[in-house]
Amino acid sequence: MGLLDYLRSPGGAGKGSASVAKERLQILVAHDRAARDRPSYLPRLQQEILAVIRKYVEVDNDAVSVHYEQEDRHEILELNIVLPDPESRA
């Protein structure tokens, strides 16, 4: 690599834009793959559950997380709801 290339490359020594491309792709592709196996109703389901919980408790927007997994013969839908600390509720 010439001196000019060295100065131009974003990550400094030995790191051309290709390595940035690879890192971004790895994250993006993993994200795409996880998303494409999920049923499309999940985001709405998540919003509605959040709305129901909020009727009873004050929770953050990200209090409900939905995790979906597909195994050979069955699917697992995992809901995780984080309620606020009892003290802060008081």
The residue ranges that bind another protein (CB under 8 A) are: 1, 5, 9, 14-19, 21-22, 24-26, 28-29, 32-33, 36
Give the C-alpha separation, 45 to 76, whole Å: 15
Nearer to another protein, 74 or 89 (CB): 74
Nearer to another protein, 9 or 46 (CB): 9
Nearer to another protein, 37 or 60 (CB): 37
Which of these, 46, 78, 38, 75, lies nearest to 63 by C-alpha position? 46
Residues in CB range of 82: below 8 A, 6 or more apart: 59, 60, 63, 64, 65
Compute the least distance from the CB of residue 23 to another protein, in Å.
10
